[in-house]
Amino acid sequence: MLQMHAPVELADIAADILARIKSRAPRVHCITNSVAQAYTANLLLAAGAIPSMTISHEEIADFVASADALLVNLGTFDGERRAAIDLALGAIEQRKADMPWVLDPVFIDRSPARAHFARGLIGRGPTVVRLNQREFAALGAAADSEAPARFAREHKTIVAITGEKDIVTDGERRTAIANGAALMGLVTAMGCAGSALVCAALAVERDAWLATNAALIALGVAGEVAAEGAPAPGRFASWIIDALYEMDRATLRARTRVS
What sign results for the dihedral spanned by CA atoms 76, 180, 155, 21? positive
> Which helix (H) or strand (E) element contains residue 155?
helix 147-155
Residues near a copy of itself (CB under 8 A) are 33-39, 41-42, 45-46, 51-56, 58-59, 62-63, 66, 75-80, 107, 110-114, 185-189, 232-235, 237-242, 245-246
**Is-contact 193 73, C-beta < 8 A?**
no
CB of 2 or CB of 113, closer to a copy of itself = 113
- Which of 258, 259, 226 minimizes the C-alpha distance to 241? 226
We find the least distance from the C-beta atom of residue 43 to a copy of itself, in angstroms, to be 9
CB of 1 or CB of 83, closer to a copy of itself = 83
CB of 52 or CB of 255, closer to a copy of itself = 52
CB of 17 or CB of 55, closer to a copy of itself = 55
Q: How far apart are the first and last CA of the chain?
A: 11
What sign results for the dihedral spanned by CA atoms 133, 113, 82, 34? negative
Would you report the helix, strand and coil content of the chain in percent, each value rounded to 5?
Answer: 55, 15, 35
Q: How far is CA 172 from CA 57, 156, 157, in A?
A: 38, 11, 11
CB of 146 or CB of 231, closer to a copy of itself = 231
CB of 103 or CB of 241, closer to a copy of itself = 241
We find the least distance from the C-beta atom of residue 64 to a copy of itself, in angstroms, to be 10
How many Cα neighbours within 13 Å face the side chain of 148?
26
CB atoms within 10 A of CB 177: 24
We find the least distance from the C-beta atom of residue 160 to a copy of itself, in angstroms, to be 22
We find the least distance from the C-beta atom of residue 253 to a copy of itself, in angstroms, to be 21
